[in-house]
Each structure stands twice: as C-alpha cells, then as structure tokens.
Structure 1
Amino acid sequence: MECFLMDVLWLEQSDVKSVIDMSLTLDAVEHGFFEHGLKKVQMPPKSYLYFNKHNGDLRTMPSFMEEQDIAGVKIVNVHTNNREKGLPTVMAVIVLNSTQTGAPLAVMDGTHITDMRTGAAGGVAAKYLARNDSRVVGMVGTGGQARTQLLALSKVMDIEEVKMTCRNISHCTSFESDMKQVIDADFTSKDSIRDVCDCDVLITTTPVRKPLVMSEWVREGTHINAIGADARGKQELDPALLKRSTIIVDDIVQASHSGEINVPFSTGIISQSDIHAELGEVIAGIKQGRRSDDDITIFDSTGLAIQDLVTANMVYMRAVELGIGKRLKLF
C-alpha cells in the first residue's frame, strides 16, 4: 500500500548495489519482457537529444506496466569522452512514480541498474535462444557492460571457456582478473575478432559505427547478443550476417531506429519481414525462438524502459523492506 506523503525515497548508488544482484535482476527482466510480449505495457520509444559538439546524447525512457501497476522514467546519457574526465560513459537517474497520484515515490541512481538490466537482457536472450549445449563464450569488447553480460550468462549456462578481444590488451587482463573471481572458466585473450567468433555465444559490446564481425567468421548454431548498437548510425555486425540469421529484437520500433538493425533497415538491406520476433513474444510462447541447432540467432538489444522499471521497482521494494535510503521532502 502506498503512503500518500509528499516525500521521496532517495537511493544513491551504494544503496542500489546493496540490494541488487544478478539473479534477482534476471527474474525481474524476464518478467518485464514477458509482459511486453503480451502487450501489457505502455512504452514509447526512447527520445534523444544529441549534443554533437560534446560527443554525447541524453535519452528519456518512460514506461508503465499494467499488471504490476508501476510507472517511471529513466534519464540517461552516453558521452564517449567522459572517461577522459574521470566520469562514466553512461550515467542515469530513475524516477518511480505512483500510478494513483503521479507523485514520485523514489529517485535512484540508474547507472548501476542500467549495467545490470542490460546484462540481464543478454542472459535472458541466451536462455531462450542459445543452444542447450553452449559452453564457449566469445567477447568482443571488455568494458563495464561486458562484465554484466558475462555475469548474466554464467547464471543461465555452464561456461567452460571465455575468448576475449579488445583494442587495449591491458583491458583484457583486468577483465579476466575481475571475472575469474565470479566465474570458474578458462579465459583466453585473442588478437583478432575472427578468433573470438569461434564460439557458441558471441557478445559484442562496442560503440562502433562500422561492422567488425563479418558473416564468414560466424559458424552455424551460434547465438549472438548484439549489445553495442543503441543509437542511430551504430552497428557491429556485417549486414550479410543478419541476412542469414534469425533476428530477435527487444522492441521492433525502437530497434528499427536505434538498434543493430537500424542501418541495414534504413538502407533497405533488410526489412521488417526479416525480423523474426521480439524477445517477449518468444518468452510468452507466442513465437518460436531458435528453430534448429544450426540456426544462427541474433538478439538485438537496444535497452527497454521496462527493463529499468522492473529492476528499479525491485530495488525500491527491497530498500523499503530493509529501511535503506534517505527520505527527502519534495514540498
């Protein structure tokens, strides 16, 4: 039951981290996709403000879930030069609102939630789309998002080997050092992306605007989580690879203008008929996901507002239960 007081629960990043883990996030995100597949959500496509001279953008992501009766909005940036300033490339704030009054219930750090729910989406996609015997993971990119992607995968499959590559070999070393603490697997650093593509599940987490994974490098039966393309003009995969694969998007409208499919879609290389399903439709049993062990499946992840909403609501409920956070008067 909501308490109709004009105060807001403030949760800073340390508060969020104290109540969230990947297993909880996976459950929340899977349910969010399920409701999305049943069309029981309101979720306009994310809107963008582009700060071209600052190499950045600002995005707003509102959503409402009917079954859970929760609503909110995330405001998130992507500034590629922030690392030079000692700031995260991606930062976010999430506001949860009462559906009864519209009043804000909580304001919380969304940066860690963004990392976790994006990783969880990849884990959920692999759960439904990867071959059951998948054991080898390939990582193109070893930044912060690569960590939560691999963490989520470790919860849904038995990982025996992780192949990784990135532009700076020292980043691969730190990635291996960090992830070996939570995943019992062999880690091997590769000089080429082609070598990394020899895997069962391929994860791409780069911000590039020209394809770096070529079709001929990917063998039949591979599942790919394409994570990096989250804005107009970005793409990581060879369009020829898309043409020979089963494409699953998180949301068809959003992916068309800001996902992995956005460039080949806008140039006519692929059309809406080439998009097999939304992930929520697969989870809800409305459409089939992987159709054979030889099928190449691609999950085009743009990041949905409902992922933030269900994860933030889980954080809020646990924080209230445990008495975590600060109460701030709004008026």
Structure 2
Amino acid sequence: METLLLNRADVDENARMPEVIAAVEEAFAAYEHGNVQMPAKSYIDLPQYDGDFRSMPAYMDAGDWDAAGIKWVNVHTDNPEEFGLPTVLGTMVYSNPENAFPLAILDGTTLTRKRTGAAAAVATDHLAVPDASSLGIVGAGVQSYTQLEAIAEVRPIEEVVVSDVREEAVAAFVDRFSDRFDVRGGSIAEAASCDVLSTVTPVEEPIVSADAVGEHTHVNAMGADAPGKHELADELLADATIVIDDYEQCTHSGEINVPYGEGLLDDGDIYAELGQIVTDAVAGRGERDGPEGVTVFDSTGLAIQDVATAHVVYEHADEKGNGYPFELVDTELR
C-alpha cells in the first residue's frame, strides 16, 4: 500500500469548487447531527516570529463516506516580505479511518484556501439575498481569490469591489478576474456597500463600520481566527444577525471574540450555528422567520472542512493517477 503525495497543482486541479462547496456543506450538516469528532483547535503561539502553529484533527461520517485527517497550519504575517513565503502554510494528512493508513499527504495551503472560500459560499447561499450580484472584498491576499471563485458559484456575481492598502495586491486581483467580472479597486466603504462582503484581513482594530454596509448586506467575516483579531465594528455586530461556525472557536478566536470577551455581546446575540441553518433546524434568509437586514457569518475554520475537502481531492486524484505514490508505511511490520 502506498501513500499519495499531492502538491499544490494536484490539490488545485482536483478541488473542484462546486464539489468542495457541497462537501463542506455536508461537513456542517454532519457536525450539526453529531456525526463528527473534532477536538478543539490547538495553538502554539510564537510572538518572537510574529506567528503561530495550529493543529486541527477531525473525523466525520457523511453517510455515504467517512474520513479522517489532521492539518498542521500556521499564520506568519511577516512571511511574504521576509522569506518570500505565503502567510499561511499547511500540510494535511488524510487517513483511512477503518485502519488508520495514511492515504495521502496534501498541500494544506491550497486546501485551506479552497475550503475557506467554500465555507463562505455555503454561508452566502443561506444568508445573502437571492439576487445578490455585487461582492465586496476587503483584503486582497491569497484568500480573497477563492472568496470570489466560490461565492460566484452560489450567486450571480457581476460587480466586484476589492479594497486593500497594498495597491499592487489590488492590481493583481483585478488583473486575475477582469475577463470574467466587472472588477475594480475601491475603498472599504465601497466594498462594504455591496450585496455580499467578505473580509479576509488579520487586523485587530475594526476596519468596517456599521454605517458602511448596505441595508441587506451579508458579511463573511473570514479573517479573525485567533484571539484579539477583529475586523467589524462592535456596532455592526450588535445590530446584525450573527451566524457562527462553532461556538467555542468563535467566542475564543472568531470575529466576535473581542466584544464577547468585553461583555458587549453575549450568547443571546448569536442567532445560530451554520450547521443548524444548513440542516433546516433554523431558518435562513428568505425562509419564514428567517433573518433580514445585515447578516454576519463568523468563520474560524473547522477541521471537518479540511477533511471534507481532502476527501474530494483524494478521490479525484486517485481516479486520475495524479500525485506521487510512495511507501510511507512499512506494511511488512506487524
């Protein structure tokens, strides 16, 4: 038996966004139904390197298939300028839960981008107005690309406004998508007034104000994934309908972690977990008693999203003979 080594190109080719979105939605449903094991994300904080490591193990039973894996991932904000490396690096080990054999080792960086975009798409599909055609993005780093790619799968996006303090990042984003969308650079306020807004920055001081968003804007708050990070103004959060991916992670390290810790928000301000909406236990926008006005999805990223995406990638790569098979496990040992 051999383990499959899948690099960035292999993951990118086989993580077909419509299938990843469906798999991530299945993961949220499995979580709501109690069909997952997912210990809390653990952190190794490295302030001397302006970074951290996180370990994210999970097992999920999606009915027709089950899967297990663990992602070892970091966030080092100085990487691009100092080392020419991505801010986020990751390695995913995907295992057969029946016998624990490591089926694949995957590039977790590309995997993370794909599943993060897919999570935003799932939330957008259930919380944005049905005819949403404009998307604002604050933060033009690598995560921004899959926000557009995924959200455009669930809404008829035509106009895109991207905002970033780095002019070169905005220019690169516009150049990448100008043949498919009416895309331009703009201010944070211009981006926030769109039908859908995705924020993908590492800031610790809010940059999106309450009066900047539209009356029915859906916001995907994707950047806050560690204690102290905070992209949206407290007033915006207080007035919005808040949907989270996981209670423990969001109150500890998600977009709501700062105002929650300060007592400005409490459990009563949380409308639902996304899994509840996906499984119809709680109404989404457009449904009876569903939310209106501004909605916010607080996404910290769940290990089951990585496992679900790894499943999609591995199945296709194995079918097509992609990757590099090698003997990681000595099967002669008993």
| TM-score under structure 1 length normalisation | 0.94
SS at match of 1:280: helix
Matched, 1:278 2:242: no
2:204 pairs, out of 197, 209, 214, with 209
Corresponding residue for residue 72 of structure 1:
69
Partner residue, 1:122 = 120
In structure 1, the partner of 2:6 is 11
In the alignment, structure 1 residue 225 sits paired with structure 2 residue 225:
no
Q: Deviations over 1:62-103 (max 9, x none)?
A: 111123321111000110011021111111111112222223
Match of 2:232 among 229, 233, 237: 237
Q: What is the SS of the residue equivalent to 1:57?
A: strand
SS at match of 1:247: strand
- The 2-side partners of 1:195 and 1:69 are apart by 43
* Structure 2 counterpart of 1:187: 183
Cα deviation 1:11-38 (Å, max 9, x = unaligned): 1222222322212211111111121122
Partners of 1:188 and 1:180 in 2: how far apart? 8
Q: Which of 43, 55, 62 is the aligned partner of 1:60?
A: 55
Which residue is equivalent to 2:299? Answer: 301
Contact 1:35/1:41 (8 A) holds in 2: yes
Deviations 1:205-264 (A, max 9, x none): 111000001112223211000011011110100111111111001111111111101111
1:293–1:299: structure 2 CA closer, same or farther, 3 Å change rule? closer
Distance in 1, matches of 2:256 and 2:36, equals 23
Determine if contact 2:283/2:290 at 8 Å carries over to the other structure. no
SS at match of 2:211: helix
**Cα RMSD after superposing both structures:** 1.4
> Which of the residues 296, 310, 313 maps onto 2:311?
313
Check conservation: 2:284, 2:290, Cα contact below 8 A. no
| Residue 294 (structure 1) shift | 4.1
Cα distance in structure 1, aligned partners of 2:325 and 2:95: 15
Are 1:172 and 2:170 counterparts?
yes
Deviation of 1:320 after TM superposition, in Å, equals: 1.2
Summarize deviations over 1:273-306 as a string: whole Å, max 9, x none.
Answer: 2111111110100111225684211001111101
The more displaced of 11-20 and 208-217 is 11-20
Q: How many angstroms apart in 2 are the aligned matches of 1:81 and 1:225?
A: 25
Gaps of 5+ in 1: none
Of 250, 259, 262, the residue aligned with 1:255 is 250
Q: Is the 8 A contact 2:193 2:213 kept in 1?
A: yes
C-alpha distance 329-293 of structure 1, shift in aligned 2 (>3 A): closer
> What is the rounded CA distance, in whole Å, between the counterparts of 1:33 and 1:145 in structure 2?
20
Matching of residue 51 in structure 1 with residue 46 in structure 2: yes
Deviates more, 1:123-132 or 1:23-32: 23-32
Give the Cα–Cα distance (whole angstroms) in 2 for the partners of residues 201 and 12 of structure 1. 32
In 2, Cα distance between the equivalents of 1:292 and 1:285? Answer: 11
CA contact (8 A) 2:226 2:253 kept: yes
- Residues 177 and 183, structure 2, Cα contact 8 Å, conserved in 1: no
One of 3, 25, 33 as aligned partner of 1:30: 25
Return the TM-score normalized by structure 2: 0.93
Aligned residue among 139, 142, 149 for 1:141? 139
State the alpha-carbon separation in 1 of the partners of residues 68 and 291 from structure 2: 39
What one-letter code is carried by the residue in structure 1 that aligns with 2:99?
T
Count of aligned pairs between the two proteins: 323
